[in-house]
Chain A
Amino acid sequence: MKRLISLYLIILLASSHLDAQTASFRNLDGNQKETFRNNLYASSEKIISLECSFVQKQVLSMLSDEVVSKGTMTFKKTERLLWTYSSPYEFVFLMNNGRITTKSEGKTSSFDSGSSPLMKELCKIMVAGLKGDTKSLETSFNTKYLTNGSQIKVVMTPKNRSLGSIFNQIDLLFDAATYLVSSIEMAEPSGDRTTISINNIKINGTVDDKVFDIH
């Protein structure tokens, strides 16, 4: 009997813990959502440049494996994004006004972003996520805004089938006070999940245009 009571208590505690976790984020109602959405957009409009470091954790579901990558990102208006991986190996990705350039093992290749719709979309998501311009993503995604008080989570599900075949869902997490992004999480149909945690954000610092010259 004692064992049964203990088991019951354990189950009760575990379920209440789960409840607490799922209840930590609640839906923003109409007015709250609009206020946050507008404030986020106003804040994003003020961003001329943004520099940050990131840690990317990728869960490979089939292998029960996790791959961790690290690097930095630099954004400068308009539409210039430099994505530099320093580990596990060096890899540079640059989106510069419609042109994509990659550098790997000293080799540079460049192509029009139109020839790679996936990379173009990924860049759009990253730039919008970094800046907090969720409005620009609403043509491609259904969005839901949730909050736990200190953070706002924007849950995005693709509207069209082609985007849905790449991403099941993308979650953007923002600080509710500063409107700065803290993580971008992408869930794929294959069951894999990639979380990019953004750290050391520097807004509107001096970013030399030469940073975006990749040869």
Chain B
Amino acid sequence: MIKYLTYISLALVLCSCTPKMSPAHGGFNPVVAEISEKPMHFRATVTFGKNSVTGLMAVKQRSDLAIAGSFTNEFGVKGFDFIYRDGKTDLIYVMPAMNRAMVKKILRRDISLLSGYGIGNIGKLGGDSSGEALQIFYPDPAEKDRGIKDILISGCSRGRKKIIALEDFRYKLRIDLISLLPDEE
């Protein structure tokens, strides 16, 4: 009886320790082959309400499987640096204009989801067939009732380009990433 109770307690403890943001497939730190050798560059558009900023997002998976990323504008001025690890995002640098508690809170949450579900699933996007159908990565269709509401992460490919989008309906924030081809770089 005590044995069973111990097992049940352990199971409950383990379940309660699982954060809601964990990607459904591949655990917290999935291996993303596309960014493990060298950084991948995206043309990024961050839309907040009616305003938008464009720039370049570079992401790379480190040897400890953390995903490190940098967002800069076209002129090279840094917006933010982040490291996504174990389902959480640390903002290593945030430009002064964005250095507000609320902005950072939204960034941390959305980048965690974008990294875990969007960039983490980039290998699922074909890349050779033009007009590939849109894939929904979040919320996971298999776990509709779990996770954070009001956020949609999708991906598709256009020719050899891979496109990932995050829509945060609550804060009217949208992040679009379009991969750059090696010949463009």
- Binary CB contact string for chain B from 19 to 49 against chain A (1 if under 8 A, 0 otherwise): 0000000000000000000110101010000
Complex Cα distance, B74 from A104, in Å, reads 11
- Binary CB contact string for chain A from 185 to 211 against chain B (1 if under 8 A, 0 otherwise): 010111010101000000000000000
Contacts of B41 in A (CB 8 A): 67, 88
Determine if B75 is an interface residue (Cβ-Cβ < 8 Å): yes
Per the CB 8 Å criterion, the residue count for chain A at the interface is 32
Complex Cα distance, B75 from A186, in Å, reads 10
Determine if A11 is an interface residue (Cβ-Cβ < 8 Å): no
B60 and chain A: residue at smallest CB distance: A63
Complex Cα distance, B58 from A190, in Å, reads 15
Complex Cα distance, B68 from A85, in Å, reads 26
Q: Are B72 and A192 in contact (CB under 8 A)?
A: yes
Q: Are B96 and A109 in contact (CB under 8 A)?
A: no
Instruction: Out of B38, B95, B180, name the residue touching A89 (CB < 8 Å).
Output: B180
- Binary CB contact string for chain B from 74 to 94 against chain A (1 if under 8 A, 0 otherwise): 111110010000000000110
Determine if A4 is an interface residue (Cβ-Cβ < 8 Å): no
Contacts of B97 in A (CB 8 A): 118
Complex Cα distance, B62 from A50, in Å, reads 44
Q: Are A58 and B76 in contact (CB under 8 A)?
A: yes
Contacts of B70 in A (CB 8 A): 60, 62-63, 65, 192
B69 and chain A: residue at smallest CB distance: A63
- The B-contacting residues of A in range 19-68, CB under 8 angstroms, are 56, 58, 60, 62-63, 65, 67-68
Instruction: Out of A89, A104, A166, name the residue touching B96 (CB < 8 Å).
Output: A166
Determine if B64 is an interface residue (Cβ-Cβ < 8 Å): no
Per the CB 8 Å criterion, the residue count for chain B at the interface is 28
- The B-contacting residues of A in range 54-98, CB under 8 angstroms, are 56, 58, 60, 62-63, 65, 67-69, 83, 85, 87-89, 91, 93
Determine if B143 is an interface residue (Cβ-Cβ < 8 Å): no
Q: Are B74 and A166 in contact (CB under 8 A)?
A: no
Interface SS of chain B: helix, strand, loop or mixed?
A: strand
- The B-contacting residues of A in range 146-201, CB under 8 angstroms, are 162, 165-166, 186, 188-190, 192, 194, 196
A89 and chain B: residue at smallest CB distance: B43
Complex Cα distance, B38 from A186, in Å, reads 25
Complex Cα distance, B77 from A85, in Å, reads 15
Q: Shortest Cβ distance from A85 into chain B, in angstroms?
A: 6
Contacts of B69 in A (CB 8 A): 63
Determine if B145 is an interface residue (Cβ-Cβ < 8 Å): no
Determine if B56 is an interface residue (Cβ-Cβ < 8 Å): yes
Contacts of A102 in B (CB 8 A): 54
Q: Are A58 and B39 in contact (CB under 8 A)?
A: no
Contacts of B75 in A (CB 8 A): 56, 83, 93, 122, 194
Q: Shortest Cβ distance from A70 into chain B, in angstroms?
A: 11
Q: Are A87 and B74 in contact (CB under 8 A)?
A: no
- Residues on A lying within 8 angstroms of B by beta carbon are 56, 58, 60, 62-63, 65, 67-69, 83, 85, 87-89, 91, 93, 102, 104-105, 109, 118, 122, 162, 165-166, 186, 188-190, 192, 194, 196
**What are the 6 A-B residue pairs with the smallest beta carbon separation, nearest first?**
A194-B76, A58-B76, A190-B93, A165-B96, A88-B184, A65-B39
- Residues on B lying within 8 angstroms of A by beta carbon are 38-39, 41, 43, 45, 52, 54, 56, 58, 60, 68-70, 72, 74-78, 81, 92-93, 95-97, 180, 184-185
